[in-house]
Structure 1
């Protein structure tokens, strides 16, 4: 399913994954979109990464308080940062030079590639 390249000027979205007991685990994330996928960069040690390794289903809410909220359900796949320099560059462009692959503060990094299965609210078009 297509994903808008520009999901708005929002700097963050809310990513919800499923904990081991099935309860929701919601965290704010920085993201970029490339027209095919939505990408999140995070630490390999993050709870969301462990949750998605066990169960790749998720929901993502962008601009939930604005005039045009967008909410999607989908699935995530873990990707190596060094295999996607274009995505790392997109993060740097959006977030004032931030290096999404830099392990200095939170340890080794990983990209989460989100494929949207269904737009629950908003979306392309």
Structure 2
């Protein structure tokens, strides 16, 4: 899943710290690149299942259009106010579409997609306090199984 983090080993998160951090945070920044090389960055909600980052994105967005052309993606989840509090995780790789596009909602029962059971349960609980995902028919799922993960926790520099 991850390559070796050469720089900043002293401040990198352990796998447990990384998983806890990603479970606690609510917003990530997603960077994509269009066919013409134009970059785009935007904020999204996400869930981390310990192996993959799941992004629930509007399908009529610049991000979605760019990912159709080039599935390469970089995602940053960060936190902290003062310099000594900064911490974060950067995940890179290729995004894969999982399930129907867009994901059905309302009166339409969504098709069985076993891969989505865990991320939809995690997402519904994290953002809506629900047991079941409230689909709106405008979003769909992207899965990033990272090829590279880099983390930092500047709080480890004190002392």
- TM-score normalised to structure 2 length: 0.65
Does the CA-based 8 Å contact 2:23-2:47 persist in structure 1?
Answer: no
1:112 maps to 142
Higher helix share: 2
Structure 1: tracts of 5 or more residues without a match = none
Larger radius of gyration: 2
Q: Say which SS state the counterpart of residue 20 (structure 1) adopts.
A: coil
1:115 and 1:22 map into 2 onto residues whose CA distance is: 23
1:63 and 1:117 map into 2 onto residues whose CA distance is: 19
Query: How far 1:96 sits from its partner (Å)?
Result: 2.7
1:59 and 2:59 are equivalent in the alignment? no
Higher strand share: 1
- Moved segments of 4+, more than 2 Å: 2-6, 64-67, 96-101
1:16-71 residue CA offsets vs partner (Å, 9 max, x unmatched): 00123212100000000111110001122122111111101011000154532111
1:49 and 1:100 map into 2 onto residues whose CA distance is: 21
- TM-score normalised to structure 1 length: 0.81
Query: How far 1:108 sits from its partner (Å)?
Result: 3.0
Does the CA-based 8 Å contact 1:71-1:120 persist in structure 2?
Answer: yes
Kindly tell me: are residues 77 and 101 of structure 1, through their superposed partners in 2, closer, same or farther at Cα, counting changes over 3 Å? Answer: farther
Query: Which deviates further from its counterpart, 14-23 or 62-71?
Result: 62-71
Instruction: Output the aligned Cα RMSD.
Output: 2.4
2:92 and 2:42 map into 1 onto residues whose CA distance is: 15
Does the CA-based 8 Å contact 1:41-1:109 persist in structure 2?
Answer: yes
Give the aligned length. Answer: 120
